[in-house]
Structure 1
């Protein structure tokens, strides 16, 4: 696959009015989600839930791609079609989570490093054969008064860059996800400083590894106040701080930024993205889009509750959130779109 091919896929993933569904929850994570609605996390139930989302009528109007988990990439729908083929029949690009999770960083209490580089070249080749067109690798960075350490920043940025280079070698578009966690009491100013430092190191490492910026996407956190911070920044302050940070550290060659929701409520994630897209377009050389997990799925999961007769209700709830975020892509989202829908307070990762 050529550099132009990678660029075309990256641009398709951030097409106007569209964004990415992150449906790549690991088995332990989706078990927690299912536990919350009293549904057993069996392979069949996981398949039924994800098939409900993937087959939602009209979802292709707002969803450009879906990040899958290894199990899901191999599963078949009830009609015998592969779930990958179901997505592609709707013009939705299938992707795959390839990291092996964040583990304790030796010698650095409270910090983590993402593992999974061993054997990645071979796994990527298999994923290409199974139909994946893009991939995702997540690094997590904690903030305190003294963290992150320089070591944590460097090893995670290096891992992201090595992953991205291997993806492009295999003909897969890498989504590079350096997530600064918003747990804690830190101010939005502290969040902005740390996010900038992470981005600066990440793009330095990507350059060293020869990664084509035109053939990748960035999946970062928004610049928020820590969730326990007594003074929470307004929607407009978050939008301004986030775009200002990316102006400084993200090269214009990157086709798009697909934000993670990172524990925000579904409504707030839409509001923040919309506010960013209302800022002066000259400040945004990249597409500003979304790659949400729970901020797209939470209402659908609750509406479905594991019951076949609720599939329609689950799809409607999912499509409502997809439409809200599709509107946010152009700055057109407004709270009136919620039509009385309750905001779901979320406190865990995408």
Structure 2
């Protein structure tokens, strides 16, 4: 584990940028950016375009370590270069920002009110490459759509089982059991989720560290015990479909919870903006998310 990155993630002020849209969500991310599906003919062209978008974000002067602690990357982004450097190295060395990697392979079909992760068949190989690329940690997402105890337990059990393999590889896992903001029993789901996570955290070894990425709870400070747990480096919040303004307001009500926004970060960025327009829009987004995270 990179101790300098650990200290930054544990104690630094700022938020985590989520730039990890994968194959399934890439077309929508590009469309929101102003590049429709008819602008590319195949996956190769699509991923070239999304890397160009991410490169524009990362190299912007608005994307800096004074506001941003870390950035979550898609696997292809990790293996690509920015200005002649692998993306993780560029983030760490040129920007002072801690690199993370999305490692899940998407969601399985809904069962017991949840969507577990699909099997991650090549995890050890991916983790080995992540270490070679100087990645600090990983991220993996599940979704909770109903307050079914059996399903929520299955989500947390799976997440922590995979997290242990990631810890053993010397990386810090971001565990992301997202509670769908349209869940009709969101508060109950969040209460069940907290108890399951606490049970699993308390079973970790003293030197096993994780991060948590959670939906902003309906009841402020629901996750305070998780934030203060000795095995938790940081608890970050996903925007979950809320607008940036709404997500920021909800975030401010939760002590110690910081942002890890994706769409809420990039919602005002467009391919046809001039560099000055693009950088100004990104600066406004970064500043507002930072302010909400340190409030």
Flag the structure with larger Rg. Answer: 1
1:247 aligns with 2:224: yes
Distance change >3 Å, CA 220–CA 11, structure 1 → 2: farther
Distance change >3 Å, CA 248–CA 18, structure 1 → 2: closer
Q: 1:56, CA displacement in angstroms?
A: 1.4
- Give the structure 1 partner of residue 52 of structure 2: 48
Instruction: String of CA shifts for 1:136-171, please: whole Å, max 9, x gaps.
Output: 11111002xxxx333311221111111221121111
- Give the structure 2 partner of residue 113 of structure 1: 116
Output the CA distance in 1 between the equivalents of 2:243 and 2:210.
27
1:73-92 aligned within 5 A = 73-77=78-82, 79-88=83-92, 89-92=94-97
Q: 1:325, CA displacement in angstroms?
A: 1.6
Instruction: String of CA shifts for 1:99-158, please: whole Å, max 9, x gaps.
Output: 1111115xx365321123433223211211122111111111002xxxx33331122111
Distance change >3 Å, CA 96–CA 249, structure 1 → 2: closer
1:253-272 aligned within 5 A = 253=230, 254-272=232-250
TM-score (norm 1): 0.74
Conserved? CA contact 2:212–2:234, under 8 Å = yes
TM-score (norm 2): 0.87
Q: 1:96, CA displacement in angstroms?
A: 0.2
Secondary structure at the residue paired with 1:242?
coil
Secondary structure at the residue paired with 1:60?
coil
- Give the structure 1 partner of residue 260 of structure 2: 291
Uncovered stretches (5+) of structure 2, i.e. residues with no partner = 41-45
Q: 1:259, CA displacement in angstroms?
A: 0.7
Instruction: String of CA shifts for 1:197-246, please: whole Å, max 9, x gaps.
Output: 11211232344454746x2211111123xxxxxxxxxxxxxxxx230x22
Aligned residue-pair number? 284
Q: What is the alpha-carbon root mean square deviation over aligned residues?
A: 2.3
Q: 1:248, CA displacement in angstroms?
A: 5.1
Uncovered stretches (5+) of structure 1, i.e. residues with no partner = 225-240, 278-286, 332-350
